[in-house]
Amino acid sequence: MALVLTHLGRERRGLTQDAKTKPIHATKAARAQMKSHPAARHVEMKRRLSEDREYHFQRGPLSLMRPAVFFDRDGVLNEDDGYAFDPDKIRWVEGAQQAVKAVNDAGYFVFVVTNQSGVARGFYEERHVRKLHEWMSRELAIVGAHIDAFEFCPHHPDGLIERYRVLCNCRKPQPGMIRALLERYPVDIDSSFLIGDKQSDVAAAQAAGIAAHLFDGSNLHAFIAPLLKDRPLHRVQPHSVRVDGG
C-alpha cells in the first residue's frame, strides 16, 4: 500500500519521473492553458481520478480483481429470530459456516450487508452489532473460514432514536452498503452476486449492478455450491478480517 500511496502522491503533485524530465517551460505552458480553459481542466481532473483508481486497483497490492459474494445476515447466515444481537442466542443457518468457507476457497471476497433497524428502534446499540460480528468471525475461524468485511445499516425512518431516524441510502433496498464495499475493494462486479432472503436484498443488489439469488431457507452450503461451480478459481493469500459499520 505504501508504494501505491507514494505513486499517487507524486502523481498529484506532478512529481512522477516523466514529469521531472519535461522542460519547465512546457509545464508552465500547460498550467496556463488549464487555468484559461475550465472545461479542459475538468476533463483533466476526471482523467487523473480515473488513472489513480485504475492504478490502485490494477497495480497496487490488491492487484487481482476478484468476484465477491454478498450475504444478507439474518435469515441467511443465522436464523432470523427477530432483532438478534446476543451471541448466546444466535443459531447458525444449516450449512452457513461451510458455505462461507466454500466461497473463501473459491477465491471470492465474502461480504455481509445487513439492515439492523434494532439500533434505531432502541433494542440494542451499534457496539452490540459489532460485538456479534466479531463473535461470528471467531466462530468461522474455527472451521477455517472468514468474512472480509461486515456492513450494517442502523437506520430506520420510524426509529425511536432520533439520530437514526432518517431516510438513508444504506438501508436495503437502497444499494449504499454494497456500493461502499465496491468502492473499497477491487471487486469483479460482473462475476459477483448476492444471497438474500427478502426482495429488498434482491432490489439492493440489482440497484448496485450485481446479480442476486433469493435463499430458500435450506442448507446454505448446498444452495451456494451450484452457484460457485464452473466459475474460475481465484487463489489469494490469507488476509486479515475487517469489521466495518454501515
User: For residue 235, is it within any domain?
Assistant: no
Q: At which of 11, 32, 59 does a domain end?
A: 59
Q: Residues 208, 118: one domain?
A: yes
Q: How far apart are CA 190 and CA 67, in angstroms?
A: 8
Residue 118: give its domain's CATH number.
Answer: 3.40.50.1000
User: For residue 127, is it within any domain?
Assistant: yes
Is the per-residue pLDDT at 224 higher than 90? Answer: yes
User: For residue 18, is it within any domain?
Assistant: yes
> Model confidence over 107-160: pLDDT tens digits?
999 999 999 999 999 999 999 999 999 999 999 999 999 999 999 999 999 999
Q: Residues 26, 120: one domain?
A: no
DSSP for residue 233: P
Is the per-residue pLDDT at 211 higher than 50? Answer: yes
Q: Supply the range of the domain harboring residue 126.
A: 68-228
Minimal CA–CA distance to 115: which of 143, 86, 144, 76? 76
Q: Residues 117, 208: one domain?
A: yes
User: For residue 198, is it within any domain?
Assistant: yes
User: For residue 21, is it within any domain?
Assistant: yes
pTM check: above 0.75: no
Is the per-residue pLDDT at 81 higher than 50? Answer: yes
Q: Residues 9, 42: one domain?
A: yes
What pLDDT does residue 7 have?
Answer: 37
Residues in a beta bridge with 214: 196
Active site residue ranges: 72, 74
Is the per-residue pLDDT at 217 higher than 80? Answer: yes
Residue 11 banded pLDDT, cuts 50, 70, 90:
very low
What pLDDT does residue 3 have?
Answer: 37
Is the per-residue pLDDT at 204 higher than 50? Answer: yes
The number of domains in the chain is 2
Q: Choose the most confident range, by mean pLDDT, from 41-50, 57-66, 203-212.
A: 203-212
What pLDDT does residue 236 have?
Answer: 45
Residue 66 banded pLDDT, cuts 50, 70, 90:
very high
Is the per-residue pLDDT at 235 higher than 60? Answer: no
User: For residue 24, is it within any domain?
Assistant: yes
Q: Residues 32, 84: one domain?
A: no
Classify residue 28 as exposed, middle or buried by CB count within 10 Å of its CB (0-12, 13-18, 19+): exposed
What pLDDT does residue 16 have?
Answer: 35
User: For the residues of 38-92, what is the DSSP string, one character each?
Assistant: HHHHHHHHHHHHHHHHHHHHHHSSS-S-B-EEEEPSBTTTB---SS---GGG--B
Minimal CA–CA distance to 107: which of 198, 232, 23? 232
